[in-house]
Chains A and B, each alone.
Chain A
C-alpha cells in the first residue's frame, strides 16, 4: 500500500490535488496523508511546509509563525 503512493506520484502528469490522488488510489484522504507523512520522514518525499522560508525573510518581518508573506502558500509534496 505504501509503495502505491510513491508509484502513483511517479506516474502523474502535472500537479494533482490530494483529493484527486486519494480518489485515484481509493484511499481516504486521511490515510493518504498519514502515508505521505511516513514517506516524508523516510526522505522519499519532500514537504514544502518543512522547507518554507528557511532562508529568512529579508525585509518582510519574520513573525512567530514564520514569514508573514509566506503563509498563503499552499502545502505541496514532491518526490525527492
Chain B
C-alpha cells in the first residue's frame, strides 16, 4: 500500500503585496523562539494581517516590541493597497481559491433538482397564491381554537363554578366564616375574576398549539415573507411584518422586535402598527362575547377580527407613510426561510407549555390584583342603603367610576357602566376585560343551582366524567374545521345567568341592537391599547411622546371603527 504524504503540497497564495508582507512578517516573528514553539509561522502571519485580536495580544506578550513593530509596519505598507479592508481582501481571496477548487472537484447537475422544500415554496410563496393560503391557514387556526377548545372551556367553567365554589363555601362554613365579605371576596372576586380568565386556558392552549405548528414547520417565516412582499408592493417599508408575526402572540416582544429595523422612522411606524395585531390575550374576550352573540359563527367572527387588525395596520401604515413619515425608499433585506420539517411533539409541547405558563403567571399577578380591586370597588356602596360587600352593584363605587366613561361609548352601542368598566380595566391587560365582565354581570344567586350536598368523591367523579365528554366533543368538532359537521346542531340553550345578563346589558345600551353593539365592542377591544406593559415598552423604545401618540391614536381609531360598525350596521339593518 502506498504511503501518502499528508503534508499538503499546495497552499493558496494571496495577491503579491500580501505575500511579500507574509514572508517578511513570518521571518520577523521567526526570531521569537516562544512564538515558533507554539505556532506555525505562516499561519500566524496570515491571522495577524487578517486582524485577529487574540493572537495579536499573544504576539505582544511573547514576541515583545520587535514582533509588534514588524506587524504594525507590515500593516502600514499594506494600507496603501487595501486601505482599511485588508481583511476583506484576504477573506475574499480565500473564497475565490475555494470557489475554483470546488468548481474543479464538483460537477453540479445542469438542472438542479428541486427539493420538496423548493416545490412547496413555489406554491406557498407564490405571488398570487401566497396570501390566500395565509388567510386559509389562519381560518383553520381560529376554527381550531374555538371549536376544539370550546368543550374544555365549558368543562373548566363547570368545575370552577360547581365543585370548586362548593368546596370553598363548605370550607368557609366549617371555619365559621361563611356569609361574610371573605366569602364574597373569594367567590365573586377571585373565582369569578381569575377563574373567569382561567376558563379560557384551553383556547390559548390551542392557539399556542397552532402557532407552534406553524412556526416549527417553517411556515411562519413564509407568511412573514409573503406579507412583507405585499407591504412592499403597497409602498410600505419592508420587514415590518416580521415583528407583527410576533404580535399574534404578544404585543410586547413585538414592540421590542422592531429593533431589527434600522431606520428610526420605520421603527416608530412599525411600533405604532404592531399593537393592532390581535395578541393572544384578546382572544378570551372574543371567545366569550362571540359565544354569547354569535354562537354558530364564532370562528368566523374571530377570524374577521384578526383580519381587521391586519387591514387596519396596513391601511394606517400606508396613510402614515404618505403623510407623517415621508416616502423614502424601503430598505431591502434578506430573509432566511428555514427548511420545512415535521414539527416534533416535544417542541410543540415545550412552546405551548412555556407560553401558557407565561399567561398563568400573569393570571396570578395582574389579573388577581385587578380582580380584587374591582371587587373592592364593587363592594363599596356610594349611594343607596347597601353596606360593604352587600350592595347593589349599580350603586357601587365601580359603577360610579365607570359611569363617567359611558357617554363616550354611548354612540358605539355599549354605553353602559358595565362595559365601560371592563374596557377601563382592559387598559391594564386584555384578559382583565373578561374577568371584569364576569364580575360586574355576576347575578347573585343565579349561579347557585343548589343540587344538594355532594361528596368530594362525587365531585371528583363528575370532574373526570366532564373531562372525558369534553374530549369526545372536541374530537367531534375536529372534522368541522374542514367543513364536515358531525355534531348535531346544539339546540339553543336557555341562557344561564351570565349569558343572559350580558345579552340584556348590550341590548339595553344599544336600543335593541345587542349583537351589533357586541361586534362594535369586540372591534374596540381589538384596536385600543393592548396593555400597560405594551405601553411601557413603547415608552422605553420610542419615548413618551410617541407613547402618547400611540395610546391616543389607538383609542381614536378604535372608537371610529366601533362607531362605523355600530352606526353603519344600524343603518343597513
Contacts and interface: CB of A to CB of B under 8 A. Distances in A.
Given A38-B91, A55-B259, A74-B242, A61 B536 contact: no
B227 to A, nearest CB: 10
A59 B358 contact: yes
B354 A2 contact: no
B215 interface: yes
A60 B249 contact: yes
A59 B91 CA distance: 44
Contacts of B95: 1-2, 31, 35
A interface: dominant SS:
mixed
Contacts of A17: 121, 125, 225, 334-337
Given A1-B96, A16-B333, A76-B242, 4 more contacts: A14-B233, A31-B99, A51-B260, A69-B358
A67 B100 CA distance: 43
A74 B245 CA distance: 9
Nearest to A69: B249
A42 B215 contact: no
A69 B361 contact: no
B125 A54 contact: no
B257 A70 contact: yes
Nearest to A19: B337
B305 to A, nearest CB: 19
B260 A14 contact: no
Interface in A46-80: 46, 48, 51-61, 63, 67-80
Contacts of A38: 91
Contact of B337 (A2, A18, A42, A61): A18
Contacts, number: 184
Contact of A68 (B232, B333, B355, B429): B355
Interface residues of B, number: 63
Contacts of B249: 60, 68-69, 72
A67 B357 CA distance: 13
B395 to A, nearest CB: 34
A16 B501 CA distance: 53
B118 to A, nearest CB: 8
Given A54-B256, A74-B224, A68 B242 contact: no
Contacts of A13: 232, 332
Contacts of A55: 256, 259, 537, 540-541
Given A18-B335, A74-B336, A2 B92 contact: yes
A8 to B, nearest CB: 9
B252 A57 contact: yes
B103 to A, nearest CB: 11
Interface in A19-46: 19, 21, 31, 35-36, 38, 42, 46
Contacts of B327: none
A58 B331 contact: no
A70 B239 contact: no
Interface string B216-244: 00001100110011001100001100110
A18 B334 contact: yes
A7 to B, nearest CB: 11
B474 interface: no
B269 interface: no
Given A61-B354, A68-B358, A75 B332 contact: no
Given A51-B260, A72-B245, A79 B358 contact: no
13 contacts: A9-B334, A11-B332, A15-B239, A55-B541, A57-B250, A58-B536, A69-B355, A71-B351, A72-B211, A75-B335, A77-B333, A77-B336, A78-B334
B238 to A, nearest CB: 5
Given A18-B335, A61-B361, A76 B260 contact: yes
A16 B253 contact: no
